[in-house]
């Protein structure tokens, strides 16, 4: 089963794909989608949708895991993040309705490092321990990989809680 992990953002977003076979988790690909070259925020939303749709077409993941909204100091920043995340989820739900899952940042960190308030370096270190030495372009990329791994580790419980069959 292929899982796509997404660390959403309105200027850039991290993505990562893993393959889960039983208890074995293998790295497929990861990267950063950049949108900050488009000046007007409203114009970025279509690009965000399109790039996420292209990820779905290219990799054909079975399930998608997305980081839930986080607390930000600015209402404007939260609004933009929510809209960008909405464009992403809309793209994913075209073909994966019922196969999109969200995880709070503390759940992701706790799942991969054992500590819900771990910093970015601890997440990077955990991903390097799991998959071997990796160089991430940004923390968005390593966070996306952690989000995918979090879903792989928690999907059975999440599915049961949602009343879905495995």
124 counts as catalytic:
no
- For residue 114, report the phi and psi dihedrals to the nearest 5 degrees: 90, 0
The catalytic position among 67, 102, 141, 143 is 67
Length of the chain (residues)? 166
Q: Using alpha carbons only, what angle is made at residue 153 by residues 151 and 154, rounded to the nearest 5 degrees?
A: 65
62 is in an annotated binding site: no
The catalytic position among 7, 63, 141, 143 is 7
39 is in an annotated binding site: no
What are the counts of helices (DSSP H) followed by strands (DSSP E) for the chain? 5, 5
53 is in an annotated binding site: no
67 counts as catalytic:
yes
22/34 Cα distance (integer angstroms): 33
119 counts as catalytic:
no
Joined tokens for residue 19: 């393959």
- The 3 state secondary structure assigned to 88-101 is HHHHHHHHHCCCEE
The catalytic position among 63, 124, 140, 143 is 140
Write the CB contacts of 119 (distance below 8 Å, at least 6 apart in sequence). none
Annotated binding site: 7, 67, 140
Name the residues annotated as catalytic: 7, 67, 140
Annotated binding site for Mg(2+): 7, 67, 140
């Amino acid at each position: 089963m292929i899982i796509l992990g997404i660390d959403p953002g309105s200027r850039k977003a991290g993505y990562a794909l893993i393959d889960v076979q039983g208890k074995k988790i293998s790295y497929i690909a990861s990267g950063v989608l950049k949108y900050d070259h488009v000046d007007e925020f409203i114009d970025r939303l279509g690009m965000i949708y399109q790039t996420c749709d292209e990820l779905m077409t290219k990799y054909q993941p079975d399930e998608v895991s997305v980081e839930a909204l986080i607390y930000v100091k600015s209402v404007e920043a939260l609004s933009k993040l929510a809209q960008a995340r909405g464009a992403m989820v809309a793209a994913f739900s075209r073909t994966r309705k019922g196969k999109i899952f969200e995880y709070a940042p503390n759940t992701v960190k706790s799942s991969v490092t054992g500590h819900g308030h771990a910093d970015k370096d601890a997440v990077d270190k955990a991903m390097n321990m799991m998959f071997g030495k990796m160089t991430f372009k940004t923390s968005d990329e390593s966070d996306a990989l952690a989000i995918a791994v979090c879903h792989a580790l928690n999907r059975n419980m999440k599915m049961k809680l949602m009343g879905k069959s495995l």
